[in-house]
Structure 1
Amino acid sequence: MTKPIISIKNLSKVYDTGSIRFEALKDINLSVYNGEYVSIMGTSGSGKSTFMNILGCLDSLTAGEYILDGKDVTTLSDNDLAIVRNKKIGFVFQAFNLLPKLTARENVELPMVYAGIPKGERQKRAMDALRKVGLENRTEHTPPEVSGGQRQRIAIARSLVNNPSILLADEPTGNLDSKSSLEIMNIFDGLSRDGVTIVMVTHEEDIAKFTKRTVTFKDGVIISDKVR
């Protein structure tokens, strides 16, 4: 059988301040395979955001194992984790996280700057990514000059340029109206059909229905894992 691109075994996360000990995640086991399209759901405080931060190598686990694309990330140094985040993981956030003074193309080029990719190759890949999300006519516009939906498309293009192993989307439609949300989900649909592995956190049932599998958290544990 194919090895999973994400393998989580007996993962726990405890926040311990000395006076307060809070177990955010309890003995989580989950595998995600190449090309899967998964939504992570749960109410506020369920553990889904903590889990997403660990998947994105933005937070460390307290116990257990996390293998990403064959690499045990729990053993990596901070520098190595930064490299993994840049090369293996594409991030799409609710707040877009774009630099307002840079053009769409320049924002998309940023991960490649950090990866040391030459300028000509950066520009070509940025243009290709913006074309893929339908923004080839907005490449020289800055984020304040485009709509919220277009900003999120720029963010999606940026997440793809280093050909990551997985795309992590955290409430990607949370700041958008229903029309823009549908446009963004149609883009994710297309990426999924192209074989991109997508894990998306959402609290919206209608958004989760776009995905092929829904994992639901409650009180730090997985209470359901359903494939459509």
Structure 2
Amino acid sequence: MPRVLLVEDDPSVREGIEIGLCQRGHEVHAAVTGEAGLEALDAFRPDILLLDLMLPAMSGVQVCFRVRETSQLPIIMLTARGDDVDIVVGLEAGADDYIVKPARTKVIEARIRAVLRRAETPIDARPTVEHHGELDIDRAGHAVLRSGDPVALAPSELKLLLHLSAVPEQVFSRQRLLKEVWDHSFHSDIRLVDACVRRLRAKIEDPSRDPRYIQTLRGHGYRFGPL
């Protein structure tokens, strides 16, 4: 079962999530502060991080930025509010998904499994490396190079790129991407898609040019290419 690092300062929420996940077979390490969570990363070596957005001192967003400096560990943000700004900031910081509290254990576990599937499951089994301009995509090896240099992608960023590039020039609506990449319903939050596209573009696109790889078709969605 996945090892879960939980960073949550509210004792009732923290204990509820920890007990619920442990009862389902997960090994959970709980931390109260962002600093303690960062210290636990190397010692506990989690498979996924559940990170409260509103932490004292070091916020969840700051923790997320710190993690993303050195790791592509899957991250799910926990927020007690449906505040648009907070959610967008968390996603832009590198979170793969978010959950609004309170949430039942089975919902949290379902999100954990969905995020980990994105991190582990290749889009297909093609063994060759695909060359798209300056971008090389190794599907089997889950590796991406830009001009020969490795590109570190979070799980959601990698799966989105693999999904779009598997069928160049095909347009995918945001709702379809939510279903096929995030395993969410068609009625889920399309900001997950838009924030992930922005993070992905920042890593693979030339900022001085219009997007070359991940293109927007207004009113329709996104496509890969044409190059």
Task: Classify the TM-score, shorter chain.
Answer: under 0.3
Point out the structure with the larger helix share: 2
TM-score (ref. length: structure 1): 0.27
Higher relative contact order (CA 8 A, sep 6+): 1
